[in-house]
């Protein structure tokens, strides 16, 4: 699938690489490093919310509950919720879903060691592969976790459609807990996606390095510059890799020669930011209601509980 998608992306105009492929083993490590950067406020803000409100969130689900996490990564922040549910003895099991199998296996092993009573059922795949599992789950409540502002990688209409598909798997008492970054000053947003130490640039270039490693590519990473800009009107960060010269890049396993003109950009990621009104619209598009919204102390980030019906009491 990686080879097929890369061939399609690099022969399209304009060129655009799917951001889901950021997260091979090295990409996952680089993203963990990004989360520790002073410029990257998102992780600290969401962590602050969870530390303050994990018990409150768990109390909203008093029955046996399955936590299903989309794009689980290292599950560092998720432990706050896992611990809150374990203290209440209402956690049936934790189901992490991530595209990076090696990271998923490592995280699952770490969790089982840390919480011996915790049942973990890991799924390696993309978000939509979780829908089959969600549809098959019965006999307990579900709280679906979509943290870290991962929803921002989808176009607004696509995010609404995907949440609508999730909504079709929900029963009364189920919920979706979504981390959503908020619209704010352009300088703060752009710094988060173009840090002074160049970690985000390395994360972005790792897409090309992955093509080199896995597909016999010949990208010279030094000739592709990281660019991140925030379109405040649209509410979207756009990330690119820009060729600084005219060049032709061979990809041996694809039997492909990819031409670039000087200044040509490969689009690698969007990250949408939301206003509170846009969050309400998102919920309505998905045929759900936003039942609770929590903020960090600086109101930079939000955690939102969407439900399809009344919460169980």
Domain ranges across the chain? 2-18+199-272, 41-182+274-307
User: For residue 311, what pLDDT is reported?
Assistant: 59
Q: Which pLDDT belongs to residue 90?
A: 93
Indicate the pairing of strand 91-98 with strand 247-251.
Answer: unpaired
10: tokens are 């690099």
Reported as a single tens digit per residue, the pLDDT across 260-308 is 999 999 999 999 999 999 999 999 999 999 999 999 999 999 999 999 8
pLDDT of residue 295: 98
Longest Cα–Cα distance of the chain, Å, equals: 63
Please tell me the distance from the alpha carbon of residue 202 to that of residue 110, in angstroms, as a whole number: 27
pLDDT at residue 99, as a whole number? 80
Distance CA 171, CA 178 (A): 18
pTM: 0.91
Query: How far, in whole angstroms, is CA 220 from its chain's centroid?
Result: 28
41-182+274-307 to CATH, choices 3.30.565.10, 3.40.718.10, 3.30.750.24, 3.40.50.150: 3.40.50.150
For the chain, residues with pLDDT lower than 70 are 130, 133-139, 309-313
Closest to 308 measured CA to CA, from 278, 275, 286, 276:
286
The per-residue pLDDT for 313 is: 47
pLDDT of residue 138: 57
> Given this model, what pLDDT does residue 73 score?
81
- Other C-beta atoms closer than 10 Å to the C-beta of 226 total 18
User: How do the residues of the chain divide into helix, strand and coil, expressed in percent and rounded to 5?
Assistant: 45, 25, 30
């Amino acid at each position: 699938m990686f080879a097929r998608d890369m061939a399609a992306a690099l022969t399209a105009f304009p060129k655009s690489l799917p951001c889901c492929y950021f997260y091979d083993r090295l990409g996952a490590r680089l993203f963990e490093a990004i989360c520790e950067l002073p410029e990257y406020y998102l992780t600290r803000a969401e962590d602050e919310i969870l530390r303050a409100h994990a018990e409150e969130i768990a109390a909203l689900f008093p029955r046996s509950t399955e936590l299903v996490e989309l794009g689980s990564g290292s599950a560092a922040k998720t432990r706050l919720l896992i611990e809150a549910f374990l203290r209440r003895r209402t956690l049936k099991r934790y189901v992490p879903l991530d595209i990076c199998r090696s990271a998923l296996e490592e995280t699952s092993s770490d969790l089982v060691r840390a919480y011996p009573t915790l049942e973990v059922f890991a799924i390696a795949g993309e978000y939509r592969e979780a829908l089959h599992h969600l549809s098959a789950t019965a006999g307990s409540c579900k709280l679906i976790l979509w943290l870290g502002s991962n929803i921002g990688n989808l176009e607004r209409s696509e995010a609404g459609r995907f949440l609508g598909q999730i909504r079709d798997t929900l029963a009364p008492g189920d919920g979706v807990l979504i981390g959503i970054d908020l619209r704010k000053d352009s300088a703060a947003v752009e710094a988060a996606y173009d840090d002074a130490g160049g970690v985000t640039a390395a994360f972005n270039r790792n897409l090309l390095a992955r093509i080199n490693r896995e597909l016999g590519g010949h990208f010279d990473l030094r000739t592709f510059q990281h660019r991140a800009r925030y379109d405040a009107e649209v509410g979207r960060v756009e990330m690119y890799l820009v060729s600084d010269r005219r060049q032709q890049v061979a990809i041996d396993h694809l039997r492909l020669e990819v031409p670039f003109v000087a200044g040509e950009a490969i689009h690698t990621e969007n990250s949408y930011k939301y206003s509170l009104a846009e969050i309400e619209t998102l919920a309505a598009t998905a045929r759900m209601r936003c039942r609770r919204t929590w903020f960090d102390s600086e109101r930079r980030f939000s955690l939102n509980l969407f439900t399809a019906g009344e919460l169980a009491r």
